[in-house]
Amino acid sequence: MATDRGYPDWEEIGEKTSEAARASWEFTKKFFRKSAQKTADSTLLLKKLTKRQRFKLSKVKQYLHKNEFNKLIALVKQGKANIELKRYGWSFLISGKDLLPILHYVHPEKRKYIFDESEEKPDRTFIREADKKIQKAFYSAAFADFSERAWGAVPQYLAPTLVSPVHIKQAIALQLFCSNDFKILLKGGRPKKKLLASASEIDSSLVVSDIDELIGKERKEVLSSGKLLAGTRKKTPRNPKFNLILPVKKISLKKFTDLVESLVIQEVKINRNDIFFIKRYIKHAQKIKVKLPPTLTDRVKLFALALRKGNKKVGKKTIEGILYFVKASAAMELREQVETKDLARVFKIFQQIHQ
């Protein structure tokens, strides 16, 4: 700190003293901010919850452990967490509990007391993870409840205003739950277009198109794609690569009275939240690894042979379709193993198509 002449370098001393003073001042400010924050947080814990806050917390309690719930109460009192109750308003086909509690971290600018946001990182992480846990538990319960009605409900979301034999809609519904590549060709006019549009709304990953409008390379690419739900008004293409070909015709008033038992006649009002739920349910169901017990394998083989005897057009793709469908039927109800009722459903669909 001395100059060449041996005198003190007062300028350097002043700079170092200023740096130390600034560091000391910053430390002091930080210390007081922390102390003030802890004091404010402790004081706010003594605050009583409002009636609205108690109601919202009561909807959260079932999803969290006791310690997690108590911590959330503290964060709500301190103004760091807020609970939003979202009601989906699902139709009667889904029903079940439709009130989802959503946790939000309240940013400092929206609060009365905030001194040091950097100290709140653990609280933000807790709120985010607790919210994920609540959503997972909520949908798990909703899916389990819906799985008992899925077989009857899902087909009703396919062109609900279109009167058509129920096995047509059941076949398309099963395709939505197939984890394997499965191709269906719909033959017909306007009724076919309604079904194509409706299925596309539920699962946009399906390649939905009118193959009559495709030519050359584009047509070849579509037919060689994975899952496919296509339509045509012309005759079945040569060497079809479809697991199932469904003729979709408008039912005449005369035939209607004879088909009442096998028709989807209950009007369904589809809303956006219903479609969102069905999409999420399908995505969840497709993750299930379904097994076909050896005891049921022989029954599938015997049915395929009997179907082949009655219709020479039944080939390898059709038999693949039967195997895929029985597994899709189990997945639709969130089961890991095929049961006899799955075989009965699929056999009936193929019998009605190939009769």
Extents of the domains making up the chain: 50-147, 150-354
* Predicted confidence band of residue 261 (pLDDT cuts 50, 70, 90): very low
- Compute the average pLDDT of residues 301-307: 83
> Using one digit for the tens of pLDDT, what is the confidence trace for 200-239?
888 877 877 777 777 777 777 777 777 788 888 776 666 5
Quick check: 263 pLDDT over 50? no
The b-or-e profile of 290-328 (16+ CB within 10 A means b, else e) is bebeeebeeebeebbeebeeeeeebeeebbbbbbbbbbb
Quick check: 128 pLDDT over 80? yes
Tokens of residue 213, six digits = 């409008």
Spelled out in words, what is the top-level CATH class assigned to the domain 150-354? alpha beta
CA distances from 310 to 12, 91, 96, 314 (A): 103, 42, 44, 9
| Between 74 and 247, residue with greater pLDDT | 74
Residue 262, pLDDT score: 44
When the pLDDT of each residue in the chain is averaged and rounded to a whole number, the result is: 81
Q: Considering Cα of 125, then 128, then 130, then 133, what sign does the dihedral take?
A: negative
Quick check: 108 pLDDT over 70? yes
